[in-house]
Structures are given as structure tokens and as C-alpha cells.
Amino acid sequence: MNRATDQGIWIESDAPLADTPQWSIPLRLVRAVVEGETANLGCVSPLLASNLETIRDIYAAWIPGHQIPLSFELSSNAAAPGKGVSLFFSGGVDSFYSLIKHREEVENLVLVHGFDVPLAETKTFALAEAQARDAARLFGKRMIVARTNLHWEESRMYVEQPRIPCSWGMYQGAALAAVAHVLAPCHGKVYIASSFSYTELHSWGSHPLLDPLWSTEALQIVHDGGEARMDKLRVLVQYPEALARLRVCWQNLGNYNCGLCEKCVRTMLALRALGIDHCAAFPDTLTPELVRQQGLSHDSAPFWRELPYLSLPTAYQAAVKSAIHSFDVGLPSRTGRWKRGVKRWLYAARNAGKALASPIDPS
């Protein structure tokens, strides 16, 4: 097992790791933007150096943080581009789609323990790893497993200083870049599967604007795609062996996909709309009541809106519409219970009151 460490953060893997400290530049830069202190980045490749200011400005606007001064030296000896192409692979819709799209080119799948699955949760990760290994074997790729305390160490840091708002969603792009750079001996190009379509871009740590800026002369980082999640699923359903290994759930309840969380529900709905009534990766939990109860967020609502709900059975159509409607009008979702009905009335009255009561108007 090889291991790279920097200021309490470590990444380890069976694969060979970089022997230069450059890999931690993304982490140091984001931390400095958050904390408002000069970033000491050490030795930086000329290509990355030319993009550092843009990265800083974007993160400063998004987190929101500080346009801190950057302190670094240019590394003179430009490293030769590495060989090999990798893809970050969590087993979700995005990573399976990018694997299928670039199956000719991709050689390694990188699965990270410590991102969505906590390090302590070995049971869930063993499941995820077994399925990812199966997928890698099916597509004839090499599997690289990395373990890191990146997510949980950084989260702890920000919990201790609650005035610093940098969520995992914002941080993950830098974390992926760091893992890509630490694995530099394994590849010269790394694909990061896109999270959101070009239509739904918003401030998010992994972004078509941001990811490629972390590239160096030796390692090109590519943000792949920008297709809608539904279009990706349309491709995926043609590969039953991929479908059976889909892992979308972040709940870590010990089973593969819980079948109850918002992400599971929307993925099952999408599969149902595409004519897949039963998928081995999900338990058989989908009911119209479950759909109607889902509380959507700004991040998840776009995925619900692109569901081709007219292809769903009638009861599900109504439930999908109801869930989206509840989100749009700012009311709690319907559960079918009278208590929730009363709560919705109270919320509606409160919203109307708030709208009519203008903020302090001295005139």
C-alpha cells in the first residue's frame, strides 16, 4: 500500500503514487480561499500556474471566499505527459455513462473509499468495490482503489469553524483533482463524469469551467459530458450488466441502494419511464405514495423536471407532478395524512402573509 500525506490528509492506494507534493495544490488553494490567508502552493507547473488566478476567482465567488494572494514558484522541468486514461468511477449513472461513451479510450476505473462511503463503513464499501470490480472486468478495465480521509477531515475542519461555508459539493472538484494528481504515474488523462447538464449548470465544485483548469502538462483533466441525466440513462438501459450494478444511493444503510431516498426514487422512476419495471440494483419499493412524499431541493428538482413522466403509469404521473409542485410553491410535500394537509394550509397562509408584509418601509 502506497501513501501520500499532506497536513494530516492522506491518500493511499495499491497503485504507484506521485512522489512530488504538487498533488495537494488544489486542497491548499481551496483552503486558503476559504480561510482568507495567502496560499503557499510551492512548486507549480506552468500550465496550472497560468490558471490558478481564474480558479481562485471562481472559488472566491462560489464558496464565497476571498481573492487571496497566491504564492508559488514555477517548476522549470516540464514533466512529459503520462500514459494511460482513467475515469473516476462511483458506479452511478454518470460514471457508467462516461465509461460506455469512452470505453475504447479508458483503461483504469478509479474508485475512492472515503468520498461518499465513510472510511469506517467497510461493509458498504466492500459491496461497492465488488460491483465495481465486476463492472471493470466486464468492460475489460483495470480497477484502481484509493482510500482517503479527504472528505471527512475537511468536513471536520469546517465543522469546527462554522463561519466557513464550504460544502462537500463545492469542495469535491478540488478533491478529485488532488486524487487525480496523486495517481499521476497511472495516467496522462482523467475523465470526471459530469454531474449536471449544460442547461443546469450552477456553482458546484465539479464543473466544466473548473475541472479542466486543474490540468498540468503531465495530466489532462477532462470534465466529460453535459448530457441530461435522462439521455445518459437512455444509453445505460442498453447495457443490462451495467444497470444491474448501478449504485446511486448515498445513504450507506448497508444495502446497495436503499430504494427510499430521493436519489433512489428518482432513478427508479426514470428507469420505469424507460420501460424497466424491475432493476436488480434496486429493491422493489417504488409506490406513488413514496414518490409524492419526496422533498426536492434546488439541486435535485432539475432531474425531476426532465423525467418523461408521460411514459409512467397514471398514478405515478400525478405523484411526480405533485412532488414538483410542492417544491415549486414552497410547501411541504403531500403525505396523504390530514396533519400534513393542515401544515400545508398553514404554510400557504404564512407565505401569503410574508409576501404582503413589505420589509421596513419608512415612507
Partner 1 sequence: MNRVTYNGIFIESDVPLTDTPQWSVPLRLVKAVAEGEAANLGSVSPLLASNLETIRDIYAAWIDGGHKILLNFEVYSEAAAAARGVSLFFSGGVDSFYSLIKHQDEVENLVLIHGFDVPLADTKTFELAETQAREAAHIFGKRLIVVRTNLHWEQPGVPGGWAMYHGATLAAIAHALAPNHGKVFVASTSSYADLHPWGSHPLLDPLWSTETVKIVHDGGETRMNKLRIVIQYPEALARLRVCWENLGNYNCGLCGKCIRTMLGLRALGVDRCAAFPDTLTPELVRQQELLHRSAKVWRDMLCPSLGPALYAAVQSAIHSCETSLPPRTGKWKREIKRWLYAMRNSGKALMSPIEHSGRHEVQP
Tell me which residues touch partner 1 (CB under 8 A): 57-58, 61-62, 64, 197-199, 201-203, 208-209, 226-228, 310, 314-315, 317-318, 321-322, 325-326, 329-331, 334, 344-345, 348-349, 351-352, 354-356, 358-363
User: Shortest approach of partner 1 to residue 348 CB, angstroms?
Assistant: 4
Q: Least distance to partner 1 from the beta carbon of 304, Å?
A: 13
The set of residues, in sequence order, having a beta carbon less than 8 Å from that of 164 and lying 6+ positions away, is 34, 35, 158
First-to-last alpha carbon distance for the chain, in angstroms, is: 71
CB of 254 to partner 1, least distance (A): 35
Whichever of 249 and 323 has its CB closer to partner 1, that residue is 323
Helix, strand, coil percentages for the chain (3-state, nearest 5): 45, 15, 40
- In whole angstroms, give the CA distance from residue 11 to residue 79: 22
Residue number, 199 or 297, with CB nearest to partner 1: 199
Judging by DSSP bridges, how do beta strands 9-13 and 142-148 pair with one another?
antiparallel
Compute the least distance from the CB of residue 62 to partner 1, in Å. Answer: 6
Residue 273 CB coordination number (10 Å) = 20
- Is the Cβ of residue 228 or residue 244 nearer to partner 1 in the bound state? 228
The least distance separating partner 1 from the CB of residue 57, rounded to whole angstroms, comes to 6
Q: Could you tell me how many residues make up the chain?
A: 363
Question: Between residues 24 and 333, which has the closer beta carbon with respect to partner 1?
Answer: 333
Minimum CB distance to partner 1 smaller for 165 or for 254:
165
Q: What are phi and psi of 84, to 5 degrees?
A: 100, 145
Question: Quick one: cell of 12?
Answer: 493511499
CA distance linking residue 10 with residue 147, whole number of Å: 8
Pick 39 or 210: Cβ nearer partner 1: 210
Nearer to partner 1, 14 or 53 (CB): 53
Least Å distance between CB 94 and partner 1?
15
Secondary structure (DSSP) of 24-83:
GHHHHHHHHHHHTS-EEEEEE-HHHHHHHHHHHHHHHHHTT-----EEEEE-SSPPPPP-
Minimum CB distance to partner 1, residue 315 (Å): 6
Nearest Cα residue to 300 out of 320, 277, 286: 320
